[in-house]
Every structure is written in C-alpha cells, then in structure tokens.
Amino acid sequence: MPALCLCFEVHEPYQLRRYTVFDMGQNSLYEDDDRNCETLLRAARLCYLPANELMLRLIRRYKGAFRLAFSISGTALDLFEQYAPEVLDSFKALAATGCVEFLGETSAHSLAFLYSGKEFEHQVRAQAARLQELFGAKPVSFKHTECIYNNDLAAALPRLGFKTVLAEGADHVLGWRSPNYLYSPAGTPKMALLLRNASLSADMGRRFGDRAWSGWPLTADKFAAWCHGLAGSAQVITLCNDYHLLGLRFSKETGIFYFMETLPKALLADHGFTWSTPAEVSATQHPVGEVDAPQFLSWEDEGRDLTTWLGNDMQKDAIHALYSLAPRVRRYADPELAHDFERLQTADHFAHMSTKWFAHPLTDRPNPFGSPYDAYITYMNVLADFEMRLDAAARAKASRARSARAKAGHDKPAPGADAASAKGRRNGKPVTRP
C-alpha cells in the first residue's frame, strides 16, 4: 500500500537594509523592518492564511485520512509572532488535529552544519524545544535547510533525538534505484531516510504554471494518475515543496488552490494509497536498502548541489568570515550578540550573492539587492560592525575582570600583613601597609 507523504517548507528570512560604511560603528540596526513587515503581511494574505485554512478543511473533510508535514524555520516563527500572530494561530489549529507533523531543522535556516557542529547542535536543539512548546510535540523527523544532506548529517541526528531524515532523491546518488522507497543512510542503519520525488515535486512546485510544459494544465486527476501508475513499484512517494507555491509562486487565479483541494480525493480514489507523515512512514515501513551520500546535496537547481549558496568567491568569503566569529560569540554569552549572529546565518543572505541564477529569480523569493555585489558589500559591512561589537564586548569583559581582581586585592590583606600588624601592636607602634 503506497503512502503519499506531503511536506511543505515554511521559511521567511529577515532581510538586510542597505548598510554602508558610514553606518559602521554608528548604529547596529541591520534589518529592513519596513520591508520585512510588508513582505510577511503579503505572504500571510496570499499564502499562509488561505493555505492553512484549506489544509484544515481537507483534514476535517477526510476525517484524518489526509495528513501532511511542515518544516518551519525559526525566522519564520519570529516574523509570524512579530507581524502576523494569526498565522501562528492557524498552524496551532492544524497541530491540534493530530494529522500534521512538524519537522526539525535549524532555527536560523542556516548552513551551520557545514562549518560548526556546535552551532548546528545549538540551533537544532533550540528549534526542537520551540516547536514542542508551540505545537505540543517534539520533532522526530528532520529536514535540513533547503534539503541539504550527506552521510555525516544523518550520523549526527540520532543523538539529537531524530529517527527520520529527508533528502533529495537525486539521480547521481540513487543511480538505477527509485526514490519511492524508504532507505537507511550509509553508516547509520537505525535512521530512516525519506527521499523526495524530484520529478513529481517539480511538477507541482515548479511547472504547474508553465504553459510551455507538455503537462500543462496540471489537474488533480492527471497528477493522481501519474502517482497511481507507480503503485506496483513504490513504497512511499514523497512530495516536498516550498509552501509559497500556494498563492505566491502561483497565484490563486492559476487554479493552484483548486488543484490542492481536489488532490486528496483524486489520490484516495485508489484505495491502495494513503496519506502519511514522515514519522508514520518510518514507523510502518522497513528500509529496502542503504543510500551512500558522501558529498552534500540539496534540492536546488539541476545540479542538486550547494552552488546556490557557495558557488562563488564572494559567498565563500562571507560565510567563512561569519563562522570564524562563532567561538567568540558563544564565549561572551551576550544574548543580543547571539541573536544577531543567528540571524546573520540565514542561508538567504548567501543566496542573494549568487551570480548563478541572479537574472532568473523566483517571483516568490525576490532579491532585495540590485546585484550580487551589492548583497556582498552590504553583508560584509554588517559583519564588520558586528565584529566591532565583539571587540567591544571583549574589552568590557577584560575591564570587568580587572575590576574584580582589583577589588579582591583591595579587600584582602597583603601576604604577611596580619603578622606585621600583630608585631606592631606588640611593640606599641602603628603599622602602615605597603
């Protein structure tokens, strides 16, 4: 009985303002509050609120037979709380149905795993605790930022409490094998590896509105027929996309909401198919083999690699400069510095520096900068100011330490002083301390 596993990534970044060299040392307001508010409210109106209302309606209509999962970044949660708390309430309403799984990820939607194991673990634990507080369940399935994955990531997850990890079903990793089965990661047999069906996911998430595509117009019945055609050679079909496809990437006028509303019925028309969450799949299915992914892969671009964030020297310079500061940030334990440091790790900052696809951005992920070079210069100016604040924190800490030592030295008698005082009193003479 094949399972349909529907997962959506929910992510909103904090966008940087045009921060120049004249701002450095004068103010440390890095983010564009007006743009962040405007962008989030538009996303809430066009995507999150109507999409969550639809998902709740489908869950109730099919009495729990329709199930899905969300991977929500910490920055998205921050923005919901700050500008649109009604969106967060709508996710809580979905959680209350018991038909929605919330996946773990890094709180900052970052690339921390590539550069700092300690930073990665800190963010994952913080995000898991927050999800449990908001939605009532600790996450047991994990989807990394933009589906980035390799063997080492899988090996790091069990000690953080995860049993399942999602990854891209990339051809160069699978070879002749199908993504429509449950696997285990190489070297981590107790973990379940759920692979995204890249083709079917792209049909829904990328090609839906493409009138030049041979499959256009995509209807629920047509999509369901493609899935039903895999019945004899599939254990689980994982469909994973950005939630923006509903209302932002494809407007309501394209029919995307009607497609999503009619899809559960079309797929359930074949009684051999069920909707399941990642945790349910790994609990009820057995891995059919092992997948070895020594190199990092992602769901981005045709190459399924990391070049969207690390494809040029500007991006590499910026991210190396950022993570070189990690030990100092955690050493000072300053909440404001730690907060800004996490926000600076969001992967979008480095994607804005990409020269690979800058001329063809997705309309739902606009780049706030005029060019990759503007993005790089702005980011490095921000980082320079942030480092100045770290230096100031170091000086303040050293000053406090000197003051503490001086105070301790003043209050505590010098070695031998008590003996000298006693001798002086015996001789009837005053004693002056050195």
Tens digits of residue pLDDT in 332-356: 878 999 999 999 999 999 999 999 8
What pLDDT score was predicted for residue 358? 53
**What is d(CA 82, CA 77) in angstroms, rounded to the nearest whole number?**
9
Mean pLDDT of 126-139: 97
Q: Give Cβ neighbours of residue 366 (< 8 Å, ≥ 6 apart).
A: none
pLDDT digits (tens, 9 = 90+) for 233-275: 999 999 999 999 999 999 999 999 999 999 999 999 999 999 9
pLDDT digits (tens, 9 = 90+) for 196-217: 999 999 999 999 999 999 999 9
Enumerate the active-site residues: 146
**What is d(CA 219, CA 221) in angstroms, rounded to the nearest whole number?**
5
pLDDT digits (tens, 9 = 90+) for 145-165: 999 999 999 999 999 999 999
In this prediction, residue 409 has a pLDDT band, given cuts at 50, 70 and 90, of confident
- Here the contacts of 387-392 (C-beta below 8 Å, separation 24 or greater) are 387/325, 388/24, 388/25, 389/28, 389/337, 390/325, 390/328, 390/329, 390/332, 390/337
In this prediction, residue 406 has a pLDDT band, given cuts at 50, 70 and 90, of confident
Specify the higher pLDDT residue, 271 or 69: 69
In this prediction, residue 419 has a pLDDT band, given cuts at 50, 70 and 90, of very low
Q: Are 30 and 382 in contact (CB under 8 A)?
A: yes
pLDDT digits (tens, 9 = 90+) for 3-45: 999 999 999 999 999 999 999 999 999 999 999 999 999 999 9
pTM for the model: 0.91
Percent of the chain with pLDDT over 90: 85
Show the tokens assigned to 266: 């079309």
Q: Phi and psi (nearest 5°) for 180?
A: -90, 35
CATH numbers and ranges of domains, the chain: 3-291 (3.20.110.20), 313-399 (no CATH)
In this prediction, residue 415 has a pLDDT band, given cuts at 50, 70 and 90, of low
Which amino acid, residue 162?
A: F
Reply yes or no on whether the pLDDT at 359 is more than 60. Answer: no
